[in-house]
Amino acid sequence: MALSRFEYVKHFEHEERLLKNCWIVVRVDGKSFHRFCQAHKFNKPNDIDALQLMNMAGMTVMQDFNEIVLAYGQSDEYSFVFRRDASVYQRRRDKLVSYVASLFTSAYMFHWTRIFQHRSLAMCYPPAFDARTVLYPTDKNLRDYLSWRQADAHVNNLYNTTFWNLVASGLSNSDAENKLKGTLAKDKNEILFNQFHINYNNEPLMFRKGTILMLKTVMVGENKQKFIVPIFEDLIGDDFWLRHPEILGKKTKLEAIYDLGENVNQPIIRYQIEVHEKRKKGRNKSVDE
């Protein structure tokens, strides 16, 4: 086709490629989620269904990109870690960041009914997520990034758990805020324990540590299956990295079976089992016909 005289405008487009050999982290974050959570009357400080919905959206993104080695979610944010040697979209920044944000948002909407139908909770208005890409040149930088996000989850959750218990006990929001001004972690632990008989360490791990998602081989009935599994663990210490050496590219036993334990009841696992069963049925049907 002949070039139109307008075609020169194409050269105004600028494509940025993400530096080679660096870990790529794409982090999505809910836009004005303070308002979104209020509008939908999400439980404070943690709404288990809202967090499960974030995990469902995180799972969908991971299923679409096979170069994500780990995802980490807490509050209204999710970080996706792409391998150092990822060649996704030839590492074009705009393409990657916009696609991750868009898929995460549509998945959040797609899974909404499944998660919230037991509360008959309808969506009042469409949510939006922004996204950014950050490059980390060393393994230590990547570990520090993830530690930063998990430490943030801990600090916020301890504060919010104490704050909302104070408010529930009758304090106004500003009185609760004043009471917590300048307190250290141990002070908040003490308030929770002495005033509300809550041992913070017994709060659900998902609230305290956030959710880590990884691809693992699991047993579904008699069959081995690759599933995105939720992991609720500390990732700041070395233990986590020794137990999951594949993240930093150190090969693990290929067929090592990951024990889901009680996480078999997590919505993202139940969903993947359901899809797996449906596919199996579909396959058998076409064989029968």
Which among Mg ion, ligand GTP, none contacts residue 37 (Cβ within 5 to 8 A by kind)? ligand GTP
Closer to ligand GTP by CB, 33 or 200: give it. 33
DSSP assignment string, 127-144: --EEEEEEEE-SHHHHHH
**Residue 135 CB, nearest approach to ligand GTP (Å):** 22
**Residue 103 CB, nearest approach to Mg ion (Å):** 18
Near Mg ion in 26-55, by CB under 5 A: 29-30, 33
Nearest to 156 by CA among 31, 36, 35, 45: 45
Give the count of residues interacting with Mg ion (CB under 5 A).
Answer: 4
Closer to ligand GTP by CB, 76 or 192: give it. 76
Which among ligand GTP, Mg ion, none contacts residue 47 (Cβ within 5 to 8 A by kind)? ligand GTP
What does the binding site for ligand GTP look like in residue numbers (CB under 6 A)? 29-34, 37, 42-47, 50-51, 75-76
**Residue 80 CB, nearest approach to ligand GTP (Å):** 17
Contact yes or no for 51/211 (Cβ under 8 A):
yes
Distance between CA atoms of residues 213 and 272, nearest Å: 13
Q: Given CA atoms 10, 13, 18, 20 in this order, what sign does their dihedral have?
A: positive
Closer to Mg ion by CB, 23 or 76: give it. 76
Under rule CB under 5 A, residue 203 binds Mg ion: no
Residue 141: exposure state from Cβ atoms within 10 A (0-12, 13-18, ≥19): middle
Which among ligand GTP, Mg ion, none contacts residue 75 (Cβ within 5 to 8 A by kind)? ligand GTP
**Residue 226 CB, nearest approach to ligand GTP (Å):** 29
Near Mg ion in 51-110, by CB under 5 A: 76
Nearest to 58 by CA among 110, 18, 17, 95: 110
Which among ligand GTP, Mg ion, none contacts residue 60 (Cβ within 5 to 8 A by kind)? none
Closer to ligand GTP by CB, 14 or 34: give it. 34
Nearest to 30 by CA among 68, 67, 58: 58
Closer to ligand GTP by CB, 30 or 58: give it. 30
DSSP assignment string, 141-204: HHHHHHHHHHHHHHHHHHHHHHHHHHHHTT--HHHHHHHHTT--HHHHHHHHHHHH---GGGS-
Closer to ligand GTP by CB, 44 or 92: give it. 44
Q: In degrees rounded to 5, what are phi and psi of residue 213?
A: -115, 135
Binding-site ranges for Mg ion (CB under 5 A): 29-30, 33, 76
